[in-house]
Amino acid sequence: VTRKVWRIGVAGLGTVGAGLLSLLAERPDFAPAGFSAEVTGVSARSRTRPRPVDISGIPWFDDPVALAASKDNDLFVELIGGSDGPAKIAVETALRAGKPVVTGNKALIAEHGAELAALAEAHKAPLLFEAAVMGGTPAVKMLREAMVGDEVEGVAGILNGTCNYILTQMEATGRSFADVLAEAQQLGYAERYDPTMDIGGFDAAHKITILAALAFGCAPTYAAAEIEGIEAIDAIDIRLAKDLGYRIKLIASASRSDGGVSVRVHPTLCPLDHPLARANGAVNALFIEGRQIGRIFLQGPGAGAGPTAAAVAADIADVMTGAVRPVFQAPAKTLRPFAPVDASQQVGRAYVRLLVKDEPGVIAAVSETLAEAKVSIDSFLQKPVEDVSGVPIVLTTHAAPEAVIAEAVRRMAALPAVIEPPRMIRIARI
């Protein structure tokens, strides 16, 4: 298509949609090579809600699907959110009409990416989603474009700024998870009504599912992700992990081996001098491991109106200039099916924290249980902690299959001197 002025339809005028409108109003000719953008239609739920940008001169659509189908725009931007519902129908409608789509919707791409990629390619309509992962920090283009000369072996990082903010605050103040979450909700760092997507690890799982597809050329398969959030992280664990030289982070990772692909999100102990341990506050950070290139580290804002809108604009520029690749690195038809590895056979080290009764013989019983399960101990720490009934015991294991460590933890839980279920947290392999 040869046009210099692109007419853009924007569905969703929340944080990111309004941010995009501000950017386009200020810099309509942001794109290289003399292209410019003009917003010719917008859609949101409420027509009367006050917006941080002036939309009075832009045609309004009550229905985002009608905006997606309208002949008055050449490019459709979806910033509504949600894996199904109006966002999905609108995106499908635009693609079927052969219209390029730019979205920031990680849930949609992680859960329906393969079918949408097939639809996009069948209708020769680009589908771009830089803003879906790490907000303004360009992780998607990095994997889809910059890394294609190499073979990516794995990616791992901090993909949810809310969780990272909460963990950072818990460490800084010694306060409980519930307290810090409530404060994060007040400050707008966490969703007020339902923070589950963030703290349960689901948002990070959407993002790592997308990165895995881009890195390994496989169909994005959200259902295969193993997900554990930060709800059960206790202030004690943050303190004790630090005494052992670690910081607890919610790490999302994807790796490839002969057995298949592993995609997981779980709290992880990172050595204090590790770059991921040093990424504190509401930031995102990512390691990419390339066979030839080695290790790349990216860190930056993972959310916010300005950064995320800039990522959306970068995708719009790609559409304008024709710099568009297959949706997931490889054409949809040739994407490999997702072959998950057996998680219980993954080998790693673990931190285990027990709360035991203050009586003789407990340590011997714990050690014996571990020996019976064939898990060897790397370090052992027994430390009285104020405000806690019972004595915390912390141990770290040598590397063992996760199923073996889980069995040892089950046996420890059954010991009469153990007061509450032991807490197991994996130790970073990187």
Ligand X SMILES: NC(=O)c1ccc[n+]([C@@H]2O[C@H](COP(=O)([O-])OP(=O)(O)OC[C@H]3O[C@@H](n4cnc5c(N)ncnc54)[C@H](OP(=O)(O)O)[C@@H]3O)[C@@H](O)[C@H]2O)c1
Task: Give the three-class secondary structure for 194.
Answer: coil
Q: Which residues of 333-344 are buried (b: 16+ CB within 10 A; e: fewer)?
A: eebeebebbeee
Selection from 366, 367, 395, 368 nearest residue 380 by Cα: 395
**Residues of this chain, 47-66, that bind ligand X according to CB under 6 A:** 49, 64
Q: Which residues of 294-325 are buried (b: 16+ CB within 10 A; e: fewer)?
A: eebebbbbbbbbebbbbbbbbbbbbbbeeebb
Residue nearest to ligand X (CB): 14
Of the listed pieces 6-14, 25-33, 182-190, 327-335, which binds ligand X according to CB under 6 A? 6-14
Cα–Cα distance measured from residue 324 to residue 302, given in angstroms and rounded to the nearest whole number: 23
Cα–Cα distance measured from residue 253 to residue 156, given in angstroms and rounded to the nearest whole number: 4
CB atoms within 10 A of CB 278: 12
16 binding ligand X? (CB under 6 A): yes
**Could you say which of 106, 207, 249, 383 is catalytic?**
207
Per CB under 6 A, the list member of 86, 100, 217, 422 interacting with ligand X is 86
Cα–Cα distance measured from residue 319 to residue 95, given in angstroms and rounded to the nearest whole number: 13
In terms of Cβ atoms closer than 10 Å to its own Cβ (0-12, 13-18, 19+), residue 354 is buried
Task: Give the nearest distance from C-beta 231 to ligand X in angstroms.
Answer: 21
Q: How many residues does the chain have?
A: 430
Cα–Cα distance measured from residue 282 to residue 295, given in angstroms and rounded to the nearest whole number: 23
301 binding ligand X? (CB under 6 A): no
Nearer to ligand X, 32 or 281 (CB): 281
201 binding ligand X? (CB under 6 A): no
Of the listed pieces 9-17, 114-122, 137-145, 347-355, which binds ligand X according to CB under 6 A? 9-17
Nearer to ligand X, 20 or 405 (CB): 20
Per CB under 6 A, the list member of 31, 75, 77, 79 interacting with ligand X is 79
Of the listed pieces 8-16, 139-147, 372-380, 402-410, which binds ligand X according to CB under 6 A? 8-16
Output the six-digit token pair for 411: 């046996």
Q: Decide: 13 and 78 in contact? Cβ < 8 Å.
A: no
Nearer to ligand X, 136 or 326 (CB): 136
Task: Give the nearest distance from C-beta 364 to ligand X in angstroms.
Answer: 51
Task: Give the nearest distance from C-beta 202 to ligand X in angstroms.
Answer: 11
x/- mask, ligand X, residues 303-322, rule CB under 6 A, reads xx---x--------------
Q: Give the DSSP H/E element, type plus range, for residue 231.
A: none
**Residues of this chain, 17-46, that bind ligand X according to CB under 6 A:** 17, 43-46
Site size toward ligand X, by CB under 6 A: 26
Output the six-digit token pair for 33: 């090579």
Could you confirm whether 207 is annotated as catalytic?
Answer: yes
Nearer to ligand X, 72 or 342 (CB): 72
Nearer to ligand X, 16 or 233 (CB): 16
CA distances from 249 to 149, 161, 386 (A): 31, 11, 24
80 binding ligand X? (CB under 6 A): yes
**Residues of this chain, 92-151, that bind ligand X according to CB under 6 A:** 104-106, 131-132, 135
Cα–Cα distance measured from residue 228 to residue 295, given in angstroms and rounded to the nearest whole number: 26
Nearer to ligand X, 35 or 76 (CB): 76
C-alpha radius of gyration, the chain, whole number: 24
Binding site for ligand X (CB under 6 A): 11-17, 43-46, 49, 64, 79-81, 86, 104-106, 131-132, 135, 303-304, 308
Catalytic residues: 207
